[in-house]
Amino acid sequence: MIIVAPVLLILLGATKILQADLLPDEKISLLPPVNFTIKVTGLAQVLLHWKPNPDQEQRNVNLEYQVKINAPKEDDYETGITESKCVTILHKGFSASVRTILQNDHSLLASSWVSAELHAPPGSPGTSIVNLTCTTNTTEDNYSHLRSYQVSLHCTWLVGTDAPEDTQYFLYYRYGSWTEECQEYSKDTLGRNIACWFPRTFILSKGRDWLAVLVNGSSKHSAIKPFDQLFALHAIDQINPPLNVTAEIEGTRLSIQWEKPVSAFPIHCFDYEVKIHNTRNGYLQIEKMMTNAFISIIDDLSKYDVQVRAAVSSMCREAGLWSEWSQPIYVGNDEHKPLRKWFLIVLMATICFILLILSLVCKIKLGPVRRKLKSSVI
């Protein structure tokens, strides 16, 4: 015990000294980074790069950096390295700032900011496209052994309000490291491109990267301002309807089954909605489920049309679009309803006729009795 006590004291003292070296000294002066640059590395993509200040006092501490995006959309984050990739629209320009920081649980030391900027690309106001919309769709790929499914891309837009009549627009998309220019356009009456179709793309149907789309243009009379936009795949992916929908009736039991849509997502990744429409009374029933079968109790005297649609479940990716409804399946038979209706009409007419005959018979039989009573009273 006598030997252990001094050893513990020595270790405790060494720990205190080490902590003192590691804790940020309030007197330390943090200098801003140098050589801060912003470089465009792709459609809607930039690389921010800087270097540590060579005059920064070296300590036994880890310096970090705080990055602040000023435009087009404010954001800030921290990093321990000297570069950062940003996916962002660029047609409005881009600016960012960075500073050196040193922090612990109790305080934050920071240098001054250094900033850099990309100016908005040139172009006359009102010449860029408006209302850009894009959708993707998945099909089976029978031409490649590398991928079982292929993703198509369809984009539409409106011509800028002040764009000259000879304006021509051109669309490009980037997904990951792949960039492609559109080859199949649809045109307006003046021959200007207003839609684009990619039957095959490098987009991954289960991917989570942003889809970047750029539309620029040219004209002999004016500089056409470019326009770019980012799309989240889950928000634009048009899911296919379920396959092989079947429906059959046994008594008052309606059984509906289907298969998952054409999609790279597995069977457990889908939510479904089943729509059952009673054509006789117009009653509409919609049920949501995660299985590919549904049973409902129905009126066996009616005819029904059945449809099913699908959406990728939030268990597999962020909630997105529902598919179109499948083609209606008709079940049941209401052809016997007119016979039933006429049967009721004939039955009522027969009853009325019998009552009329009985009434006439009663009148005929009671007529002499009434005359006798009347003569006896007289």
Label residue 354 by pLDDT band (50, 70, 90): confident
Label residue 365 by pLDDT band (50, 70, 90): low
Domain boundaries, the chain: 34-118, 130-235, 246-331
CB count, 10 Å around CB of 49?
Answer: 18
Share of residues in the chain with pLDDT > 90 (%): 70
Nearest to 236 by CA among 214, 210, 199, 200: 210
Q: Give the architecture-level CATH label for domain 130-235.
A: Sandwich (2.60)
Label residue 372 by pLDDT band (50, 70, 90): low
Per-residue confidence (pLDDT) for residue 346, from 0 to 100: 74
Given a cut of 80, whether residue 85 has pLDDT beyond it is: yes
Rounded to an integer, the average pLDDT of 261-271 is 96
Label residue 13 by pLDDT band (50, 70, 90): very low
Rounded to an integer, the average pLDDT of 135-141 is 94
CATH number listed for the domain at residues 246-331: 2.60.40.10
Region of poorest pLDDT, from 2-6, 203-207, 212-216, 327-331: 2-6
Rounded to an integer, the average pLDDT of 331-348 is 66
Report which of residues 370 and 146 the model is more confident about: 146
Region of poorest pLDDT, from 5-14, 82-91, 120-129, 168-177: 5-14
Q: Point out which residues pair with 103 in neighbouring strands.
A: 108
Per-residue confidence (pLDDT) for residue 347, from 0 to 100: 78
Label residue 60 by pLDDT band (50, 70, 90): confident
Rounded to an integer, the average pLDDT of 37-42 is 97
Rounded to an integer, the average pLDDT of 317-333 is 94
Per-residue confidence (pLDDT) for residue 375, from 0 to 100: 55
Tokens 């040193």 identify what position?
A: 102
Per-residue confidence (pLDDT) for residue 240, from 0 to 100: 97
Given a cut of 70, whether residue 25 has pLDDT beyond it is: no
Given a cut of 50, whether residue 8 has pLDDT beyond it is: no
Domains 130-235 and 246-331 share a fold: yes
Per-residue confidence (pLDDT) for residue 93, from 0 to 100: 97
Per-residue confidence (pLDDT) for residue 11, from 0 to 100: 43
Rounded to an integer, the average pLDDT of 94-108 is 90
CA–CA dist 133, 370 (Å, integer): 92
Given a cut of 80, whether residue 371 has pLDDT beyond it is: no
Nearest to 155 by CA among 214, 226, 89, 216: 214
Rounded to an integer, the average pLDDT of 152-173 is 97
HEC letters along the chain:
CCCHHHHHHHHHHHHHHHHHHHCCCCCCCCCCCEEEEEEEEECCEEEEEEECCCCCCCCCCCCEEEEEEEECCCEEEEECCCEEEEECCCCCCEEEEEEEEEECCCCEEECCCEEEEECCCCCECCCCCEEEEEEEEEEECCCCCCCCEEEEEEEEEECCCCCCCCCEEEEEEEECCEEEECCCEEECCCCCEEEEEECCCCCCCCCCCEEEEEEEEECCCCCECCEEEEEEHHHHECCCCCEEEEEEEECCEEEEEEECCCCCCCHHHEEEEEEEEECCCCCEEEEEECCCEEEEECCCCCEEEEEEEEEECCCCCCCCCCCCCCCCEEEECCCCHHHHHHHHHHHHHHHHHHHHHHHHHHHHHHHHHHHHHHHHHC
Question: What are 291-307's pLDDT values in tens digits?
Answer: 999 999 998 788 999 99
Per-residue confidence (pLDDT) for residue 188, from 0 to 100: 96
Instruction: Tell which phi-psi region holds residue 50, choosing left (phi > 0), alpha (psi between -120 and 50) or beta.
Output: beta
Given a cut of 80, whether residue 156 has pLDDT beyond it is: yes
Rounded to an integer, the average pLDDT of 145-161 is 91
For domain 34-118, which CATH number applies: 2.60.120.1440, 3.40.50.12240, 1.10.238.10, 2.60.40.10? 2.60.40.10
Per-residue confidence (pLDDT) for residue 20, from 0 to 100: 42
Given a cut of 70, whether residue 1 has pLDDT beyond it is: no
Instruction: Tell which phi-psi region holds residue 4, choosing left (phi > 0), alpha (psi between -120 and 50) or beta.
Output: alpha
